[in-house]
């Protein structure tokens, strides 16, 4: 018998450069939170490690995984394919771990459909001008890619209404604590907790469940 509760699934999305990756890295590893490792067909960036940052795959391998039903969701983002390995996520949740998917909005909406209990958090930049500065500053993308990403940003933000929570990432520390606050509040939802909480008081009083 399982003596722990199933973990919760969080989706963190937002426009490129909004800082979702940094926020996820800051909260993962603590408070029973694990980050899911996605599969992608894009090339590794300098310093990225296979199996840690992503599972890097060829297009054929990726399509094979789709066909076998191994992906919880997948999407094409800026010409590369990205997807969430299903079994790893499900087994973590069953072991009572909370799992974070740092995925794009198309993927987030697929997850919400499949698992309506998932909690979707949208990370917003303080402004489009600041987003541009960040994208230019991080020097990972060419000017053409940056323009493409900025052009896509407003379309992404228009889907905010599909998400459960939003956090504006102005100051990183504040954004991290806002996301932690959401996770903390979700952990205290009464519908999930009502039985174990009442059970604890019943046991204390000597009543059996």
Indicate which single residue of 41, 65, 84, 153 sits in contact with ligand 5GP (rule: CB under 6 A): 84
The site string for ligand 5GP over 1-20 (x = CB under 6 A, - otherwise) reads ---------------x----
Residue nearer to ligand 5GP on the CB measure, 78 or 207: 78
Beta strands in the chain (DSSP E): 9-13, 33-35, 39-40, 55-56, 71-77, 80-85, 98-102, 119-124, 165-168
Which conformational region is residue 96 in: left (phi greater than 0), alpha (psi within -120 to 50 degrees), or beta?
A: left
Residue nearer to ligand 5GP on the CB measure, 5 or 80: 80
User: Could you give the CA distance from residue 170 to residue 12 in angstroms, rounded to a whole number?
Assistant: 16
Indicate which single residue of 8, 107, 109, 124 sits in contact with ligand 5GP (rule: CB under 6 A): 107
Indicate which single residue of 6, 42, 132, 134 sits in contact with ligand 5GP (rule: CB under 6 A): 42
Pull the structure tokens for residue 129.
């001008």
The site string for ligand 5GP over 85-104 (x = CB under 6 A, - otherwise) reads -----------------xxx
Residues 188 to 207 in contact with ligand 5GP, rule: CB under 6 A: none
Which is it for strands 39-40 and 80-85: parallel, antiparallel or unpaired? Answer: antiparallel
Question: Shortest gap between Cβ of 147 and ligand 5GP (angstroms)?
Answer: 16
Residue in the structure block whose two tokens are 């209404």: 161
Residue nearer to ligand 5GP on the CB measure, 21 or 96: 21
Separation of CA 164 from chain center? 13
Site for ligand 5GP contains 156 (CB under 6 A) = no
Question: Shortest gap between Cβ of 157 and ligand 5GP (angstroms)?
Answer: 13
* Nearest CA among 143, 162, 140, 160 for reference residue 151: 143
Site for ligand 5GP contains 123 (CB under 6 A) = no
Residue 66 CB partners (closer than 8 Å, separation 6+) = 74, 83
Contact positions toward ligand 5GP, by CB under 6 A? 16, 38, 42, 73, 75, 77, 82-84, 102-104, 106-107
């Amino acid at each position: 018998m399982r003596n722990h509760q199933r973990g919760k699934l969080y989706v963190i999305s937002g426009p490129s450069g909004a800082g979702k990756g940094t926020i996820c890295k800051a909260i993962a590893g603590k408070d029973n939170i694990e980050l899911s490792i996605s599969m992608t067909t894009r090339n590794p960036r300098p310093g990225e490690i296979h199996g840690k940052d992503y599972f890097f795959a060829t297009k054929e391998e990726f399509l094979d995984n789709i066909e076998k039903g191994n992906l919880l969701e997948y999407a094409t983002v800026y010409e590369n394919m990205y997807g969430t390995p299903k079994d790893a996520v499900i087994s973590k949740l069953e072991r009572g771990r909370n799992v974070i998917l740092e995925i794009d909005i198309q993927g987030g909406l697929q997850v919400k459909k499949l698992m309506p209990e998932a909690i979707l958090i949208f990370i917003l930049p303080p402004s489009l001008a600041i987003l541009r500065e960040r994208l230019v500053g991080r020097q990972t993308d060419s000017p053409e890619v940056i323009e493409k990403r900025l052009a896509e940003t407003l379309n992404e933000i228009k889907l905010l209404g599909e998400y459960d929570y939003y956090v504006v990432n102005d100051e990183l520390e504040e954004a991290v604590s806002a996301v932690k606050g959401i996770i903390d509040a979700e952990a205290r939802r009464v519908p999930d907790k009502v039985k174990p909480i009442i059970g604890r008081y019943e046991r204390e009083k000597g009543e059996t469940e």
